[in-house]
Amino acid sequence: MLNLVVDREKQDLMPTGQTMKLKELERPAVQVWSPASQYPVYLATGTSAQQLDASFSTSGTLEIFEVDFRDPSLDLKRKGVLSASSRFHKLIWGSFGNGLLEGSGVIAGGGDNGMLTLYNVTHILSSGKEPVIAQRQKHLGAVRALDFNPFQGNLLASGASDSEIFIWDLNNLSAPMTPGSKSQQPPEDIKALSWNRQVQHILSSAHPSGKAVVWDLRKKEPIIKVSDHSNRMHCSGLAWHPDVATQLVLCSEDDRLPVIQLWDLRFASSPLKVLESHSRGILSVSWSQADADLLLSSAKDNQILCWNLGSGEVVYKLPPQSSWCFDVQWCPRDPPVFSAASFDGWISLYSVMGRSWEVQHLRQADKFGGKLVTFGLPSTPDFQVSQPCPRLVFISQVTTESEFLMRSAELQEALGSGNLLNYCQNKSKRTSLSSEKMLWQFLKVTFEQDTRTKFLKLLGYSKEELQKKVATQLESDLGLGERPQSKEDDLNSNRQPAFCSQASKHTAEETSASSAFFDELVPQNMAPWEIPITEDTDGLLSQALLLGELGSAVELCLKEERFADAIILAQAGGEDLLKQTQERYLAKSKTKVSSLLACVVRKNWKDVVCSCSLKSWREALALLLTYSEPEKLHELCDMLGTRMEQEGGGALTSDARLCYVCSGSVERLAECWAKCHQASSPMALQDLMELVTVLNRSLELLKRPDGVIPGPATAYRFTQYATLLASQGSLATAMSFLPTGCAQLPETFTPPAPITAPVMAPPSQLPASAVSHAPPGAPGECSLQQLQRLPPEKIGRKELPPEHQPLKDSFEALLRRCSLAATDLKTKRKLEEAAQRLECLYEKLCERTLSPHVLAGLHEVARCVEARSFEQGLAAHAQVVGCSSFSEVSSFMPVLKAVLTIAHKLQV
């Protein structure tokens, strides 16, 4: 993924005029990017209704292209194509999906004659089922304005001529709604529509007359109109501020007033700021959703500009184009990338950071990093030299961690050769610590056959040794091992004890020997047996057996504590009776192994894990390895390891790693390591990389899908490791450890839930705090005066992923502790503001738009918060900010740092 690393002055953006084209496509088409949640990144194009190619064809085509920035060529890979019934004025790509539409979202196309068409993206890409979901011809004129609601993906706004605006519910397309009565007299075209990025029921529309109308869909009426009354402002586009609910920009395509106006609806009498660098009318604007300071614009002066709205200055200017660019769009997933569609039939992709980050690093791997550049001073002072004096420049490799690099190279060699079994064996031999030796022996077993049996042997349990010990014990108990040898013994010297388990079938000789053995135990002159019919226990037991009352017979045996008789009879009585009898026996038995017998009989391994003494963790792990089902072993071993970490007082944390090796939990292994190594020294980090990489490789060989996807803790350490390798000049190896695939899998994206309640609620259902009076001269009541204090609506908001819920819990608990401990009002106000600002983080977590190393760093910060280690938390925070895109983290990382600083000061 490309990262936009810029400071507040955007000094890292490319200088004016420098070429930075990434891709290009020759198409007279309108364009739209795939949503931020979509991977791989796609660009959809639809034949433009306002352009003709050389053949003067009027047919339309909808195409989808994959954008692969790792490919250094300028070409785009076409992944899907579809003939369209009409050409397009506008395309919009939403992430709506409810099971019937899989997960790639919906493309809406606005065409001539009021035609609105909805396409299933998955069906276009697969060329299978019918891709057209629906077509509606509700509008009277060309549909030039479209926008999906960012909170409820099933809501689509469309605008056309005659001031018509419709709100479509993709769950029910039969009856579109209107935001209110037509606001323009005479009616005008709708040039642009945009949903507010903070409040889901606010929609704005732009009109050629220069006005922007803000609609409240719950009131079903316009609540404010903005215009500078110059009569030269001809609105061609608008966009809401990504973070501030009351701010929007308008652009004018009138050559007499080619400006961009920034409006704040709290002060709607005049623009807050006016941007004036274009010389002719502006055709489009695009506000970066990743960095609220960046705004793109294109105009009829053949210029494409990138503005810093904070300073009002142009921070990037593309070289003049050969034709007008009628549409520019930031890429939702890759913040530095944008696309531009021009009237000469070309769509071009650019980056404000130059060539793709991946391409740069693949081409320059190991050429930089760990280098020291020095130059010599001239022997003659500068003021005595009349002409420039040449100086020698020296570039040398600086390596400060030679042992770290040597061990890293050994690991890479083992990974490359696939000889990880020998690697584990050597690591086990080299270490002097018994715990580390055991850990590497466990890892070695993961590459061998019959892993459970070998894990048991490492824990000290061997079936072969046990059988030998049992046989010896039985011989001793029967007196066969100590009595003088007789002639009869000579005859039966080859026999085995009857109670020893034999794998082979008995031969005739073995059967004879067995019979002779029982002859010794049972006297041959025993009288024929009789059935006692008395009133004592034996008599009653006999009567019960004669009548088939096995339940009563078992009860009698249990009363007399004749447990062997009870078990034998219960077995003849069926499974239920046997189970009841076993439970009765286990409840009464008080021997040293009673608990162990109960575990084996009941097979309730979760209870074993949760209730066993941690002094017997080896025995508990042995039980799991011996008896648990393969599909349950992972969960049970993780539970045992977690208990050892949480309840062992730190003494068993190191041993818990063995449980995670048995379960194949790379993420848990990394988290466990982090508890023992607060400071990530190079050698300690190398230790971890060796462990998790080897375990991960064994899981890959077993085709465990979770073995190749690093979790937050693992991804964070991978990033640290890659950074350290790069600093030592080993860039190629560093690149191989970067967790590029973590957040780029389509299956991790959960589509938004279908609408459960209409967004257009009657005014009576509005919260009282949302109702206020409009500014002077504005029609109706304006609820936008207080929008900046209203939290985003919860309806339609995605669920926080379970794996990230601990982040929210930790940070909210920290805020509560700080609020209780704070005494001055200034600190309390900072904490209140922080609580609101952190909502942006939770939204990003719900949308799954944060990169893997940012997620990993946040989880590391949360762990430090739980441990009350705020200095470590601030260090982890700095690590995240140092290697992250400003645009990705600027909305929440500064405030998180402020909270950590306050917590450190208050010692909460």
Distance (Å, whole) CA 82 – CA 64? 9
Final residue before a domain boundary, out of 689, 713, 737:
737
* One domain for residues 36 and 84: yes
* One domain for residues 688 and 713: yes
Please report whether residue 386 resides in a domain: no
Q: Identify each DSSP E strand in 102-256 by its residue range.
A: 106-111, 116-120, 132-136, 145-148, 155-159, 165-169, 172-177, 192-195, 202-206, 212-216, 221-226, 235-240, 247-252
Distance (Å, whole) CA 654 – CA 675? 10
Q: Picking from 4-18, 189-203, 817-831, 833-847, which range would have the lowest pLDDT averaged per residue?
A: 4-18
According to the model, what pLDDT value does residue 54 have?
A: 62
Please report whether residue 786 resides in a domain: no
Please report whether residue 394 resides in a domain: no
- Contact between 190 and 165 under an 8 Å Cβ cutoff? The reply is yes
Please report whether residue 672 resides in a domain: yes
Helix (H, G, I), strand (E, B) or coil at 259: coil
* One domain for residues 612 and 579: no
Place 274 in a pLDDT band, splitting at 50, 70 and 90: very high
Find the mean pLDDT for residues 200-224.
Answer: 91
| Tens of pLDDT, residues 375-424 | 665 555 544 545 555 666 666 666 777 888 889 989 988 888 888 889 99
- Contact between 299 and 280 under an 8 Å Cβ cutoff? The reply is yes
Long-range contacts of 834-837 (CB under 8 A, 24+ apart): 834/895, 834/896, 834/898, 834/899, 836/791, 837/891, 837/892, 837/895
* One domain for residues 575 and 645: no
The string over 402-440, giving b where at least 16 C-beta atoms fall within 10 Å of a residue's C-beta and e elsewhere, is: eebbebbeebbebbeeeebbebbbebbeeeeeeebebbb
Final residue before a domain boundary, out of 287, 316, 351:
351
- Contact between 714 and 691 under an 8 Å Cβ cutoff? The reply is no
Distance (Å, whole) CA 555 – CA 550? 9
Total count of domains within the chain? 4
* One domain for residues 330 and 411: no
CATH number at residue 330: 2.130.10.10
Please report whether residue 521 resides in a domain: no
According to the model, what pLDDT value does residue 758 have?
A: 38
Question: CA nearest 636: which of 612, 608, 616?
Answer: 608
pTM of this prediction? Answer: 0.47
* One domain for residues 66 and 127: yes
Q: What does residue 884 show for φ and ψ, rounded to 5 degrees?
A: -125, 165
Could you tell me what percent of the chain has a pLDDT over 70?
74
* One domain for residues 243 and 191: yes
Provide the domain limits for residue 253. 21-351
Final residue before a domain boundary, out of 713, 737, 761:
737
The pLDDT mean for the chain works out to 77
Q: Phi/psi zone of residue 610: left (φ > 0), alpha (ψ -120 to 50 degrees), beta?
A: alpha
Decide if pLDDT at 194 tops 90: yes
Reported residue count of the chain is 908
Please report whether residue 483 resides in a domain: no
Helix 653-663 vs helix 617-627: crossing angle, to nearest 10: 0
Please report whether residue 15 resides in a domain: no
According to the model, what pLDDT value does residue 23 have?
A: 93
DSSP string across 793-811 = P-TTPPPPPGGGHHHHHHH
* One domain for residues 613 and 583: no
Q: Picking from 181-195, 405-419, 639-653, which range would have the lowest pLDDT averaged per residue?
A: 181-195
CATH number at residue 406: 1.25.40
Distance (Å, whole) CA 338 – CA 295? 11
- Residue 571: which H helix or E strand, with range? helix 563-573
Check whether the bond before 40 is cis (ω within 30° of 0).
Answer: yes
> Can you read off the two tokens belonging to residue 743?
């957040």
> Can you read off the two tokens belonging to residue 544?
């019960």
Decide if pLDDT at 683 tops 90: no
Q: Picking from 326-335, 395-404, 553-562, 652-661, which range would have the lowest pLDDT averaged per residue?
A: 395-404
* One domain for residues 213 and 309: yes
Could you tell me what percent of the chain has a pLDDT over 90?
27
According to the model, what pLDDT value does residue 277 have?
A: 92
> Can you read off the two tokens belonging to residue 122?
């998955």
Residue 860: C-alpha distances to residues 63, 476, 668, 711, 806 (Å) = 42, 59, 13, 12, 11
Question: CA nearest 198: which of 241, 261, 156?
Answer: 241
Decide if pLDDT at 855 tops 90: no
Distance (Å, whole) CA 685 – CA 103? 38
Find the mean pLDDT for residues 320-339.
Answer: 91
> Can you read off the two tokens belonging to residue 894?
């500064």
Chain-centroid distance of CA 365 in Å reads 28
Helix 402-417 vs helix 420-430: crossing angle, to nearest 10: 140
* One domain for residues 108 and 132: yes
Distance (Å, whole) CA 495 – CA 515? 10
According to the model, what pLDDT value does residue 24 have?
A: 93
Query: Which of 140-144, 542-546, 577-581, 706-710 has the largest mean confidence?
Result: 140-144
Distance (Å, whole) CA 157 – CA 333? 23
* One domain for residues 649 and 571: no
* One domain for residues 259 and 151: yes
CATH number at residue 850: 1.20.940.10
According to the model, what pLDDT value does residue 100 have?
A: 43
| Tens of pLDDT, residues 651-662 | 888 899 999 999
Q: Picking from 221-235, 241-255, 292-306, which range would have the lowest pLDDT averaged per residue?
A: 221-235
According to the model, what pLDDT value does residue 42 have?
A: 95
Residue 746: C-alpha distances to residues 131, 154, 656, 685, 855 (Å) = 20, 20, 33, 31, 17
Please report whether residue 183 resides in a domain: yes
